[in-house]
Amino acid sequence: MYKYMPQTLDEQISWAYTLSTDRLSKPEQKAFLSFMFFFNIFEAHLFEDGHRVNDLLEKISNDLLKENWFNVNDYSFFGDFFKLRYVNFEGKETDNFRTLQLNQSRKKAVFDILAKYKIADDNSNIPDLFRAYLEIAYRFRNNLFHGSKGVHSLSQYTDCIEKINNLLYKLLTDMKSNGFHGLTTRYRV
């Protein structure tokens, strides 16, 4: 029987490395594989076909905010990290923010939300804060899957990917614990 592809994950990664001189450490490999897996689960549970992504992210965020178990402050680890990454000490966009490649219609809104973040202790009064978190996560997904981030540069994004993994893990775990099914009933968390 012809073996079409390597059978184990380690063999598959070793084969992939024959195509590139760039390498990821085992923890980096784990972070990026988890990212792809978590995003697949996130989209399967929360996305419906035929809707624009920005509309879906807005609806998901709004629906979550209506839930008594959901508190945006529980995700402050995400806001803390990405505010430092995208807003400089003068309150201006960093180069990292400019390369995020957000939709032009949402770029200013997301930046303004991050700039307001942590000015007060309670961030639950910042409209669209969780939506901004989801948009940042989704941009990483698109930039990774559609080629803006190649193997040669992945290791510099590992911290970001790990924060997004934590956000998705916490969100999916909280949804499951509270029976929240999102926009679709095709799958259940």
Beta strands in 21-148 (DSSP E): none
Q: What is the pTM of this model?
A: 0.84
Distance in angstroms (rounded) separating the CA atoms of residues 175 and 19: 39
Sole residue written with tokens 């184990």: 8
The pLDDT tens digits for 99-144 are 888 988 899 999 999 998 887 666 666 768 999 999 999 999 988 8
Report the domain count for the chain.
1
Does residue 2 lie within any of the structural domains? no
Does residue 26 lie within any of the structural domains? no
3-state secondary structure of 154: helix
* Paired tokens of 43: 């989209």
Please report the pLDDT score of residue 124 as a whole number. 65
For residue 82, give the amino acid letter.
F
Please report the pLDDT score of residue 136 as a whole number. 95
For residue 42, what are the domain limits? Answer: 31-178
For residue 68, give the amino acid letter.
N
